[in-house]
Chain A
């Protein structure tokens, strides 16, 4: 019911909204929860297990009951706390986990069967017959479980991530946080003040207590305005600090767009912040806890602090006849606020026998509530006081079991909170998070004056660490009542009393768990699912712990605590994964020939982060094979051009560069003369092959190393490791120039003539023999030419600064087309290398040695190099190892498939008989049949042997014969000629 006056809402702006198919009206400044209460909506959802009707329970992010789905269509968002969703125009909310309707829910049968389906019942049944688990039981359980539903469509909304840095992060903008922020801001520190609420101020916005004689909310608003005006302060409202990470890193979720009637295009719904703070003040306040008693989950049973918030901040009375039950002065404060608002208080029940009240309401010191009645909403409350059980009419019961400091963030780095008997709650362990200072209610200080002073104290401590001096700010006058509590967790009784409202965990469940020997907190939690629901047990964990302590005859401190892990409140995957949807997951690297290749219709495929052309289709070709075969033919018979810029290029210089290369390669490079290129294999220190490539000597002490595309990054890291860590005495420097140079292979018998038409000074007879390199001038541009070949043909690679790459590629391709050739892609490149038996990472897959690849000859015996010692281990030189060979098909079925396994001719296709596998295969247009490379036990010793190749997955079985690696021009006459 909306009160006639009062509250911080804007009564001038009425907003229509829809809940469960009906239209209602609220005001700007309402949350969905306060608007629902204002419209006397009592049942807002159903519980997880027993499908009990539930109403709004709190006024904050700890809400266990009021979870709804917001919106429709692709962007519908499940499990939104109605207490955190600000009302906006035409907001649509739907209840969850109920069918066919919120008020008539079929699965309420679970509630009637509750004695059979208590905690952990499912561990004891559903075992027979075996197949029924997947077929019958599990599907039924899965359908019944869960809360809201995802829309099933791709996320349509924009989310963002951002970084922020500051001297001091103040978490929470209640009295303590505001004082801390003011103090630090005045001292000149760079401050971020983050508050979960849309309206900073914390409890000041929910209480009637005054500061300096004025409304607490006015003081808070003025303080926030003052902070907002300071250039060294960022006030981040609607921002929940969700996690604490190492070295002062905090995760925070800002709700940017959920509250806007019309979200401007481009504005994200949420932003996930990574905040690096030199110091932090934790002023996150406290969460009120309920008391467990029979039927304490009825709609209308509500936290006392929430009742005050609805009264004072939203101008809403959660009931017309309200009973109040508590064990501290909070109950009295609540009753007083209700009376002041003109709401009828039917009973004030205080568990403390010595409590006094000056209010003119029925007062029952030493009383406890024993039951709450009313199926779809509270109707009456039973209680015991003075040895007498009595009942009272109430449609709302305000409950307070005391306050729990918000210690969650102090647990994120494994800090364990410590028990404080004085307030019957856990408080942060000192130094739990380096550089984070808890204060105010979060540190167990519960009076407003105490919080203000503690906030200033915490800021001063933080400022000291930053080398700044705290100013002496005047402190406003505020209430300073002592906190007197008589710990009360659960009222004894036979009927079910709820602890975890969301997961339907009762006092009986926890006692039952203890009876079955789940006596450790972790066991109890895992067995009963206590605290595992979306509210993470914010209002219930401690009571469950207390019940367990009682059941096992231990004290609470001795029983322990459950720890809290990030995030503090649930964070959308779309927020923490912002930017990655679609193509944003990884950078896209494009070569200089990318545009020209696409223009020629080449399908571009992913090669690591790069895109490379698969093939260049020509008119009339129906399959990629036709294009590929044609391109192979060009290279074998005329001239082909392909972009090889994606290979890693590392420029290495220094007097000791040669010695350095000798140490990273198995072969010797210090003897390489300027103008010459050599092929090298690089091992990991464990003796297995890391990468291969060529290195050119460009001049005295100046080399250019190439790596495979995939290994460019790891090789660079490895070279720096060797240079800085293993061989710091060597005078050598290196830098990646992969992106500085565009490089194209020009391959084929016509390549020399072809190039002579491109180079400004044609090569003379005898210039650029095989494995030579040098500077050249190409169409007026200074470039480099390498006589190397990955195709087995007479071939070159020509490199120019990347800015000329596009022009050179177009010129080369046009010219090649004039000579009966043209551009070729990755498919042809692969066929060409397979015909020659050359390697890629399909073969160098991380488990192979030089020996396996037939490259033992490249391992120098005259020097130390990375991997030499480990490569000599007996297991790495065993002749029985799987070693690389080529395979040609025999028989009628001529399919060789990468991934197929090899067996002796008559052996069964089982693990025990497996002798190897195919790594790469293609159709060789040059040879006219398929060829493959594969690893085979003792492979090179089995040339000519016929093997069985089996691919179970694709249903292919064939025979193949073992051949030497190189199937084309084995003497290399074409390459060298």
Chain B
């Protein structure tokens, strides 16, 4: 499996660390249900998924990866921090 890091280019999967579904962190006072959803409940789609990956053995950028969980096709990779 290979991923294209926007900074480093295409690299082998073993340079990266998967870091969970790309979700919005709730506000501190959002309540138990919102926190439960953020921490535990997952869409877990069989198909297109938005995920966070970390280019751990590369530039250390956190990436938002759009990926298909059935075919493993990668539709897009962007920097999680945006243009920074």
Q: Please tell me whether chains A and B touch each other in their complex, using a CB distance cut-off of 8 A.
A: yes
Chain A residues with CB under 8 Å of chain B are 245-249, 274, 276, 413-414, 434, 685-686, 717, 720-721, 723-726, 728, 864, 868-870, 873
* A724 and B28 form a contact (CB under 8 A): no
Select which of B3, B39, B71, B74 is within 8 A of A686 by beta carbon: B39
Chain A residues lying within 8 Å of B56, measured Cβ to Cβ, are 717
Chain B residues lying within 8 Å of A248, measured Cβ to Cβ, are 2
Chain A residues lying within 8 Å of B61, measured Cβ to Cβ, are 724
Minimal beta-carbon separation of A738 from chain B (angstroms): 14
* B2 and A247 form a contact (CB under 8 A): yes
* B25 and A726 form a contact (CB under 8 A): yes
A247 to B68 Cα, complex, angstroms: 12
Chain B minimum-CB-distance residue to A247: B2
Of all A-B residue pairs in the complex, the 7 with the closest CB atoms, nearest first, are A247-B2, A246-B1, A724-B81, A864-B28, A724-B62, A728-B81, A246-B72
**CB-CB under 8 A for A869 and B35, given A246-B2, A720-B54:** yes
A-contact 0/1 string along B1-26, CB 8 Å cutoff: 11100000010110001010000011
* A724 and B1 form a contact (CB under 8 A): no
Chain A residues lying within 8 Å of B79, measured Cβ to Cβ, are 724
* B82 and A728 form a contact (CB under 8 A): yes
Select which of A246, A685, A869 is within 8 A of B30 by beta carbon: A869
Minimal beta-carbon separation of B55 from chain A (angstroms): 10
CB of B52 closer than 8 Å to a CB of A? yes
Chain A minimum-CB-distance residue to B38: A685
Chain A minimum-CB-distance residue to B34: A869
Would you list 28 pairs from A and B whose C-beta atoms are within 8 A, ordered by A residue?
Answer: A246-B13, A247-B1, A247-B2, A247-B10, A247-B72, A249-B12, A274-B12, A276-B2, A414-B71, A685-B25, A717-B17, A721-B19, A721-B62, A723-B81, A724-B61, A724-B80, A724-B81, A725-B62, A725-B80, A725-B81, A726-B25, A728-B80, A728-B81, A728-B82, A728-B84, A868-B28, A869-B28, A870-B39
* A685 and B39 form a contact (CB under 8 A): yes
A723 to B17 Cα, complex, angstroms: 16
A870 to B80 Cα, complex, angstroms: 24
Minimal beta-carbon separation of A251 from chain B (angstroms): 12
Chain A minimum-CB-distance residue to B27: A864
Chain B minimum-CB-distance residue to A720: B60
A-contact 0/1 string along B43-83, CB 8 Å cutoff: 00000000010101000111000000001111000011110
A248 to B54 Cα, complex, angstroms: 21
A924 to B3 Cα, complex, angstroms: 53
Minimal beta-carbon separation of B10 from chain A (angstroms): 8
A-B contact count (CB 8 A): 61
CB of B41 closer than 8 Å to a CB of A? no
Chain B residues lying within 8 Å of A414, measured Cβ to Cβ, are 71
Please tell me the number of chain B residues within 8 Å of chain A, measured between CB atoms.
30
A966 to B74 Cα, complex, angstroms: 54
A352 to B71 Cα, complex, angstroms: 43
A725 to B78 Cα, complex, angstroms: 12
Starting from the known contacts A274-B12, A724-B62, A726-B25, 16 additional A-B residue pairs (CB-CB under 8 Å) come to A245-B1, A246-B13, A246-B72, A247-B10, A434-B73, A685-B25, A717-B17, A720-B60, A720-B62, A723-B81, A724-B61, A724-B81, A728-B80, A728-B82, A864-B28, A870-B35
Minimal beta-carbon separation of B39 from chain A (angstroms): 6
A728 to B10 Cα, complex, angstroms: 24
* A717 and B54 form a contact (CB under 8 A): yes
Chain B minimum-CB-distance residue to A685: B39
* A869 and B26 form a contact (CB under 8 A): yes
* B52 and A725 form a contact (CB under 8 A): yes
A868 to B32 Cα, complex, angstroms: 12
A129 to B5 Cα, complex, angstroms: 61
Minimal beta-carbon separation of B64 from chain A (angstroms): 9
Chain B residues lying within 8 Å of A723, measured Cβ to Cβ, are 81
Chain B residues lying within 8 Å of A247, measured Cβ to Cβ, are 1-3, 10, 72, 74
A434 to B75 Cα, complex, angstroms: 13
Chain A residues lying within 8 Å of B80, measured Cβ to Cβ, are 724-725, 728
* B54 and A721 form a contact (CB under 8 A): yes
Chain B residues lying within 8 Å of A434, measured Cβ to Cβ, are 73
Chain B minimum-CB-distance residue to A248: B2
Minimal beta-carbon separation of A336 from chain B (angstroms): 47
A236 to B81 Cα, complex, angstroms: 43
A725 to B20 Cα, complex, angstroms: 12
Chain B minimum-CB-distance residue to A434: B73
Chain B residues lying within 8 Å of A413, measured Cβ to Cβ, are 71-72
Chain A minimum-CB-distance residue to B64: A725
Chain B residues lying within 8 Å of A245, measured Cβ to Cβ, are 1
Chain B residues lying within 8 Å of A869, measured Cβ to Cβ, are 26, 28, 30, 35
Chain A residues lying within 8 Å of B32, measured Cβ to Cβ, are 873
A685 to B80 Cα, complex, angstroms: 18
**CB-CB under 8 A for A276 and B81, given A247-B74, A248-B2, A868-B28:** no
Chain B residues lying within 8 Å of A725, measured Cβ to Cβ, are 52, 62, 80-81
Chain B minimum-CB-distance residue to A865: B28
Minimal beta-carbon separation of B74 from chain A (angstroms): 7
Minimal beta-carbon separation of B48 from chain A (angstroms): 16
**CB-CB under 8 A for A249 and B2, given A717-B54, A725-B80, A870-B39:** yes
Chain B residues lying within 8 Å of A720, measured Cβ to Cβ, are 54, 60, 62
A869 to B37 Cα, complex, angstroms: 12
A873 to B60 Cα, complex, angstroms: 33
Chain A residues lying within 8 Å of B12, measured Cβ to Cβ, are 249, 274, 276
Candidate in B56, B61, B62 with the most chain A CB atoms within 10 angstroms? B62
A274 to B13 Cα, complex, angstroms: 12
A864 to B26 Cα, complex, angstroms: 11
Minimal beta-carbon separation of A584 from chain B (angstroms): 16
